[in-house]
Amino acid sequence: MVDYNDTPKTGIKWLGFVFGSVLLTSSAIAWAGGPPNRQGKPVIIEEPAGRPTEGDRTGPTPTAPAGTLQPTQRTEDTIPRFPLPSARISPVNGRVTLKLINSSNVVIEYQISGGTRPRLVGQQSESTLEQLTIPINLTYQREDGGLLFVRPVVTSPGVLEIRFEATGNINLDTRSLSINEQGTVFLN
């Protein structure tokens, strides 16, 4: 015999179970950082030539459609990082000279991968590495483990000046500099 008085209680229990499952799943997704990222290449919206730049506009800035990336506006105190080149050097007979200038008050350890043993450049001092065959990968770090801001500047054909400065901005910190066969310099 079926007791019809028990049916509403069973329906409420089932509804509570479904609602609890949905709530638990939503909470788990939120705690995990949200739904998974969309796969594929990001869409970058670029301004067509001849149109005003961000700094030239007056009035409100239009917003991009959801899911698109806007190009970042560079400031004067930042150097482009990989994959954008930081500098371009013209090698002389396939060779370059690196002039390391430590403008900080900490000792910096550096090494040319596959080329030199670890070396030091003291605080407020310089070191020159001459006639290095490209490609080159220079790794560096502060002895105290702090952050470094690196400015590569081509001073003459075949000579790259690399200035090290202490920074507190983690977005400016790098650990290596690479020069490819074409003389393109990347900070990583």
d(CA 188, CA 185): 10
Amino acid at 145: G
Domain with 14, as residue range(s), is 1-35
User: Is 61 inside any structural domain?
Assistant: no
Do 102 and 182 lie in one domain? The reply is yes
Is 145 part of a structural domain of the chain? yes
More confident of the two residues 31 and 93: 93
CATH for 127? 2.60.40
Burial track 15-53 (b if 16+ CB lie within 10 A, e otherwise):
eeeeeeeeeeeeeeeeeeeeeeeeeeeeeeeeeeeeeee
Helix, strand, coil shares of the chain, percent, nearest 5, are: 15, 35, 50
Instruction: Give the pLDDT band (50/70/90) at residue 55.
Output: very low
Dump pLDDT digits (tens) for 76-92: 455 555 468 899 999 99
Which range, 1-15, 40-54, 123-137, has the best average confidence (pLDDT)? 123-137
Mean pLDDT score across all residues of the chain? 76
